Every structure is written in C-alpha cells, then in structure tokens.
Structure 1
Amino acid sequence: MSGILDSVNLRTQMVGQNRLELLLFALESEQQYGINVFKVREVLQCPQLTEVPRQTSAIKGMAHIRGETIPVLDLSEAIGRSSIPATDRQRCFLVVAEYNKRTLAFLVRKVDRILNTQWDQIMAPPTEIGVENYLTAVFEHDGKLIEILDVEQILADLYPMSTEVSADVATDRVKEQAKQHHVLIVDDSSVARNQMQRSLESLGLKVTSANNGRIAWDLLNSLTSRGIDVTEYFLMMISDIEMPEMDGYTLTSMVREDERMSDLFVVLHTSLSGGFNVSMVKKVGADGFLAKFNPNELASVVVNRIDDISAH
C-alpha cells in the first residue's frame, strides 16, 4: 500500500499519447473501480473528519490535509450504494482529487494498485444499460470488468451548475453572428456534453456532439471523404482530453497530421489539474485550452473565434 501512496505524486507528473493510468479501488464489494491517476493529488488513510452541520448528502465531513480543508464525499453512497459507517472510516482511504477547479476527497473502502493501460483499451459502457447511471467507461483486465465512474455526473448531481451565459457575453450581436456557425463538441461524459451544448445553443450556434475521440475522428474523416471542408463546416472542435478509445491529445494529433483537416480550430478542455495540460496542448498543436466547466469562459472562446473570422 505504501508503494501506491508514495507513487501517486510522481505518476501525476507524467502524461503520454493516448496513455492512461488508473488508480484501482473498491467500495462496498469486491467490484473494482478506476479513477484516472492524473486527477489524483494524493491517497491517504482516512483521518478524523470534522462533521458538517445538517449534512444531508453524501458529503460526510471535512478533512484537514496539509493546511487545507477538503470536503469528503462517501463515493459509495454518492452512486446509490450503502454508505460506509462512521465506525469504519479510519480503516478506509481518501482519494484526494481535483475536478473542474474543485478539490474533493473520495472516501473508499480499499485502494488496490495503479494499472497502466491505453485509452484505446477503454470501452464506452454498453448502450443497453441506458443513460441513467454513473459509468463513463469500462475496462476488462485479468478476466474482470473494471468500472470507470463519471465523476462529473456525480458532482453535477451534488452541485448543479448553471449553463447560462451572461448577457454581457451573449449579446444580440453575438447571437446573430453565431447563427451562421457550427461547433463540434467531443466528450465521453453525458453531463459535460449537455452542459456545453446548452451553453453553446443559447448563443445560437448549431452543435454536433460525439461521445469520444474515435467517434469524432470517424465523423471528420467521413465528412472530408465526401469532399466537405471541415475547417469551413465547423467553426471549431472543442474536445475533452481523457476519453475511452481515443483521447483528445491523440485526436488533435491525428487532425493536425491530416492535410484535409489540419487547419481545423481545436480547443481542448478537461477537468484534469496540472501544468502539464498547457505544455501538452502546445505539443499536439491545439489552438487553446479550457478548464471545464464555466459557461462564460466557454462562450468567450467561441465569441473570440467568431470575431477573429469576422476580422479577416
């Protein structure tokens, strides 16, 4: 266990092409779940928690970690399973993670190990299970199915976010100009896609969405094969970075290497924290980077792109 805890900080400094490292953990059963190591700040034994008055959600209290007060979410209860009794917490672990500029600690029963794989080995959940679940991907390893949770959906249910763009960004002029444009959004999280789509459509934009990089690539390749100039067809592509089958870095690299679409304007966005994002965005040739999700920041990127095109 100490090897896992000691290695998290080192591993979070690494990033690769279409590469994924999963921190495996368990909740109330032997079922294994995974979280992207790049989201993880540290893993530690659960300390004594400070209770939250009138606590009515899966937030079980606050932990004081390295001078910072961090809310603790019982991940088992958050996904509809049995909560971890207070008497068991000190035998459990906190996975301290950063999502969308918010730091939280996930209370889990057991932390197993770090598994190194590739995004193209990670599959989207079967469509037959429907959309009312917290799965964003699945992965088969050693004959067992590892489930990757849609943390964005879990947090959105706990902390609903507005998708409304402020009036000083969504002006009448912007809305009139936006009607002429079409944006491609790529994200494996249904809540993230819906948030972006609502915000962009409120500007008057036409929006096409894809569930992962592979689907987006197939769409772009299909359009170009039919003689459609995707750099004219789409105002821009806004893509998540971490997705099953093909991540955003790989998708962007493939777009840049294909002369039919190499000039497509690409913005990458992610809930991942860390300075490596900026350097990787430049390395793969993306035109911009967004930490998700903020409707005004998202809209401003689109507005600036429209203004640049209008100026030319």
Structure 2
Amino acid sequence: MKAWLLKDFGLDNLQLEEVATPQPKAGELLVKVGAVSLNFRDKAIVDGIYEPHLVPKPLIPVSDAAGTVVAIGDNVTRFKVGDRVNSHLYSRWLDGEPGPNEPDYCFGSPLPGGLAEYMIIHEDSAVGAPDNMSDIEAATLPIAALTAWYSLVDFGQIQTGQTVLVQGTGGVSIFAVQIATALGAKVIATSSSDQNLQAVKTLGAVAGINYRTTPNWADEVLKLTDGKGVDLLLDVAGGSGINQSVAATKASGRIAQIGFLTGQTVELNLMPLIFRQTTIRGIAVAPRSSFDRMNAFLNEHKIRPVIDQVYPFEKAREAYEHLARGAFGKVVIKIA
C-alpha cells in the first residue's frame, strides 16, 4: 500500500512510500481509509514538539480517519466487512475516567495512523461513522468534534441559557460553536480575523471579539456578560493567555484547557484563580462511549462539519502547510 512515513522530525522528512499492507489479527479490523483530517497535534508531532520521545520512526502519522472495513480478524463481533468506521484517538480509553497510560495507545503516534491506504483499528476502539456523513466529513470527528463535545457536555455540563467562550476558529472551536448553540447556550467567539468572526456568527455565535484589536479581551467578555463572566471557556491557546481566561470566566466557572497554540508552559497568577474559585481541567479528547453519544447528537441536530479545504492524498504536505497557516474549520486529506 501507499503510506506517508515520517522518517524524522520536520515536514521535509514526511515521505510517500510503498509499504506492506497490514493484516488484521484477532479482534482487529482492516480499514480502507477514505479520508483523514488534520489536527494541531498532527503538526506538532511532525514538528517534534509533541511528546517527541514517544514518536517512533518511521511513523505513519495522523490520528483521525474514516473508512470502510475490508477484512476482519478472528472473533470480531462489533463490526463486519462493509461497515464504515471512525478511528478513535485513545484506542484503549473506552469509558469512564482515563487510565494513566492512555497516550501510549494513541493513533498517529505512537501507533500507526491513517495517512495511508489502509490502517488497523481494534474493534473495541472503532466507532461507527455517521450514515449521513461522507468519509471526508466523518474524518473530522475523532479529535475536533469529540473534544468540543466532551468539554461542553461531560466536563462543562452546559445548560440552556448559559454562556460559553470559544477561542479561535479552528476545528475544535467551530464544532464547539455548533454544539453549544444546539445545546441552547450563548456563544462568544474570539479570533484575530473580523471576517472569521462574521462567519462564526452565521453558525450561531452571538458575539465576537478580535483579540488583536482588543488585546484585553477578558474585559470585553465581562461587558458582554454584565460583569459576570462566562460559565465555561474553551482555551485552545494555552500560554500566558490562561490568566485572561480566568478573568473572563465567572466565579466558580470552568475552563477546559484544550490546546497549547501559543505555548506549553505558563506563569499562572494564583490569586485570581483562588478568589474566583475557577476549575481548570485538562482535556485530552474523550472515551469512546462519549464518541458514540456525540454521533447520535450530531445526527439528531443535523450538525455537519465545516471543512476549509480537501487535499488529495499526494498533496498531504500542502495540507500540513495549510493547517500551519490557519484554517476556518477542518483541513482534510482524501485518501480513496
């Protein structure tokens, strides 16, 4: 089969080659990959800034895939040949709280990912792809949609009428706007682009703040919420901005710490955190059980992913470059 192999860190070291097609063992599915979508995690792995000690070389990268089961190993009962499935990043996290070593069993590093014509997924970790979505659409769900869902529902426990702040207009953030709006929440979005803020309002956001022209954006959030702050804030930026996130969140509010776009370390001002009694929870996607519940919700509310651009398999590097420039929604690579 054809597969992209990361031979060393750096995009120049991502090479398209011929490798042996894997064969499913007991309990495993062989999936013909239809499409994959890129997340910041995928770029960070290629750049060597995401747990580099866990990255095997060569590696077939990219965690988020959708495709069709073409062969099964012994004793498989959950799926059959012809079924369409999604990969699930944390392949052994099926329900409840995460175990201590979930990162050791992630697709796209250290396990082989989906940037290939075929991939192996254990039946326990696979998720049925939504019938009303193409592979291109379904490939956007495993990290971006599921992270937004888990942050809003499992952690945030968002109720109708509450307020959510979403940072940026990337994959997680766009899904968060769509899902939070469907839950009856009021969404405030931040971005450095007025054009993107206008676009995100068409998806349901009630207000937008340009953090370039309004660097003290937390003050604007307080104005928009009558001085209270938001009930839940999805922080995808990381870095020193976490202190503004605390300021923008209501007393006893919650922050879902999802990303690290502006830095993996931070000097946290403890007194505002203590006085506001803020809960900060690191969010690393979700268990498979949450994925199953989310797909039913997306179907019920007819939520479809926002895709910025689809690239052919041979132009995977260009897709990574697009992600690095920034995307409104998701960047997808069509495999088959």
Q: Which TM bucket (shorter chain)?
A: 0.3 to 0.5
TM-score, structure 1 length as denominator?
0.36
TM-score, structure 2 length as denominator?
0.34
Give the structure with the higher percent strand.
1
Higher RCO, Cα 8 Å, sep 6+: 2
